[in-house]
Amino acid sequence: MATLPTDIITDILSRLPSKSLCRFICVGKSWNSLINDPSFITLHHNFSLNSKNPNLIICHDSLSISEIPANNHHTLRFSDLDHPVNHLPDYATVQFLGSCNGILCISDRYKKTLFLYNPCTKTQRLIPPVPSSIPDDNDPLLTNYNPLVYKQVDHITVFGFGFDSGSDDYKLLRVVERYEERVQMGREVRLYSLKNNSWKRVSDELIYYPNQPFDGIHVNGVLYFLVTNEGGTAMVKCFDLKTEIFSVLAMFDYDRDCDNHNFVFCDLKGCFGVMANYLKHDYNMPYGWKLGRADLWVRKEIGKKECWVRLFSISDPVRIRNVSNIRPVVYSKDGGRILLEFSGSMFFWYDWVSNKFESVEATGLPHEEPFDTYAFVGSLVSLATDKKKTTVKTVPKKNTHKKNSGGFLSTGFKLRL
């Protein structure tokens, strides 16, 4: 029997998929302790972010999952994902509210019962009900007509889920607005802390109306929401999870003269991105609209200033025929291509330098369209209530090994060869 240094064992295990490590917990007490140690979880997650292909999640009434093959980027095989919403007493279709560090935030279709769920560790956390001072007339629908008072009553509820590295805590933001006859009658913002397992009120002095009831996206500790000001101009509303303060980010100079447009937010390797889809009338399309052009803008640091940069523009009508929406999903492993979802029904790898598309075969897709696709990297984060620490601290990869060289990970383990 030979003994390997712990650093070597740790380095080897940190390169393995999360699913494999969850099985290796049963190898012995030493491996169980190592794999469940918060320092190792952080090391493994940071290595996964930099070296592994992400998983893909499709949401359409239910959830499906697929890996991006390492050597074959042209085939995706989706399979149904079991999740807590499936086991609710009154089954309801699932809503995907966001993901962070391998944790999914999901709910029933009315966004009333909320869960945090890690598909790799199979652990979950039921989020306590949200206290609210805004009545919903016992109707969970976002838009409804109340025949008792003959008023149009609208409820807009949006969520944003992310990680606060400062407090080492996962947080969920909920914004509710109530309208009667298109006049705002109430607004409430609450924030959930996983560490405290409780909700609290958050002030919001920047009142901008949701452009559409889309949930926010998390990028590097900030939640981003699409809103409009009183003049109807689209803007980005930001919520910093560390300071718990709202701010507004001006949108790039988008085309306001087109017939119609929509914006899709995305996280591209830690950069906040927006795909601007410009539409034109086409009565042969199901909803009367056809995509005329799509521009991808990302926030990048140039010098000491962060600004909008247009990465590419797709305007070839032959390539985007019968398409009404393009969603950026994830970069390829080499960073030279990007996976695009077309109209919630098909996938293409796009090389923006050569302007070439490569179709992607996908099996196990929902029978009905459209669907929404999200990328996430699996992790070992546990949501079990008996775990004292369930979070991941994302640190630069070059410093990770140094930080893990002492303490628990400096002790030796025996490995049989």
pLDDT, residue 386, reads 54
CB atoms within 10 A of CB 14: 23
Q: What are phi and psi of 42, to 5 degrees?
A: -65, -45
Average pLDDT of the residues in 63-83 = 83
303-307, long-range: CB < 8 A, 24+ apart: none
Tens digit of each residue's pLDDT (9 = 90 or more) over 230-250 = 788 899 999 999 999 999 999
Decide: helix, strand or coil at residue 351: strand
Regarding predicted confidence, which is higher, 114 or 178?
Answer: 114
Cβ neighbours of 228 (radius 10 Å): 16
Is pLDDT larger for residue 370 or for residue 406? 370
Pairs from 104-113 (Cβ < 8 Å, separation ≥ 24): 104/57, 104/63, 104/376, 105/159, 105/161, 105/172, 106/63, 107/159, 110/140, 110/141, 111/140, 111/157, 111/159, 112/140, 113/85, 113/88
User: CA 37 to CA 396: how far, in whole Å?
Assistant: 19
Confidence of residue 127 (pLDDT cuts 50, 70, 90): very high
Q: Mean pLDDT, the chain, as a whole number? A: 79
Strand pairing partners for 164? Answer: 169
Averaged over 93-101, what is the pLDDT?
90
Strands across the sheet containing 75-77:
75-77, 356-363, 346-351, 338-342, 326-331
pLDDT score at 140: 43
Q: How far apart are CA 112 and CA 176, in angstroms?
A: 12
376/329: higher pLDDT: 329
As a whole-number percent, the residues of the chain with pLDDT over 70 amount to 77
- Greater confidence (307 vs 378) lies with 307
82, 159, 413 from 85: Cα distances, Å: 9, 17, 40
Considering 154-163, 208-217, 292-301, the range whose residues carry the highest mean pLDDT is: 292-301
Tell me how far apart the alpha carbons of residues 143 and 181 are, in angstroms, rounded to a whole number. Answer: 11
If you average pLDDT over residues 270-281, what whole number do you get?
Answer: 91
Give the span between the Cα atoms of 137 and 176, in whole angstroms: 14
Alpha-carbon gap, residue 116 to 189, rounded angstroms: 20
The type of residue at 300 is: K
What's the pLDDT band for 395 if we cut at 50, 70, 90? very low
pLDDT of residue 221: 95
Contact present, 204 and 192 (Cβ < 8 Å): no
Question: Quick one: average pLDDT of 123-151?
Answer: 63
Q: Specify the pLDDT at position 211.
A: 60
Residue with tokens 């400096």: 410
Mean pLDDT computed over 268-273: 91
Report the alpha-carbon distance of residue 176 to residue 136 in Å, rounded. 10
Mean pLDDT of 337-359: 90
Flag the least confident range among 96-100, 150-154, 301-305, 325-329.
Answer: 150-154
Which pLDDT score, from 0 to 100, does residue 153 have? 57
Instruction: State residue 121's pLDDT score.
Output: 86
Q: What is the DSSP string of 231-260?
A: T--EEEEEEETTTTEEEEEEPP---SSSSE
Q: How large is the average pLDDT for residues 274-298?
A: 85
Does position 1 have pLDDT exceeding 70, yes or no? no
CB 191 within 8 A of CB 171: yes
Reported confidence tier of residue 183, pLDDT bands at 50, 70, 90: low
Most confident of 109-113, 328-332, 403-407: 328-332
Q: What's the pLDDT band for 318 if we cut at 50, 70, 90?
A: low
| Residue 398, pLDDT score | 39
Look at residue 412 and tell me whether its pLDDT is greater than 70.
no
Structure tokens at 327: 């969603």
In this structure, the number of other CB atoms found within 10 A of the CB of residue 386 comes to: 5
Residues 247, 259 contacting (CB under 8 angstroms): no
Q: Report whether the peptide linkage leading into residue 370 is cis, meaning its omega lies within 30 degrees of zero.
A: yes
pLDDT (mean) for 9-34: 72
Q: What is the mean pLDDT of residues 223-229?
A: 91
Determine the average pLDDT of the residues in 12-35.
72
Angle of CA points 381, 372, 207, to nearest 5°: 85
In Å, what is the CA distance from 222 to each residue of 94, 206, 249, 271, 353? 24, 16, 12, 11, 30
Q: In this model, does residue 345 exceed pLDDT 60?
A: yes
Q: Quickly state the pLDDT bin for 93 (edges 50, 70, 90).
A: confident
Q: What is the CA radius of gyration of the chain?
A: 23
Q: What is the DSSP string of 374-388?
A: EEE--------TT-S
Span of 10-14, 189-193, 346-350 with lowest mean pLDDT: 10-14
* Contact between residue 335 and residue 35 where contact means Cβ atoms under 8 Å apart: no
In this prediction, residue 138 has a pLDDT band, given cuts at 50, 70 and 90, of very low
Where is pLDDT greater, at 215 or 416? 215
The residue type found at 210 is P
Strands (E) across 88-150 are located at 94-100, 103-108, 114-118, 123-127, 143-146
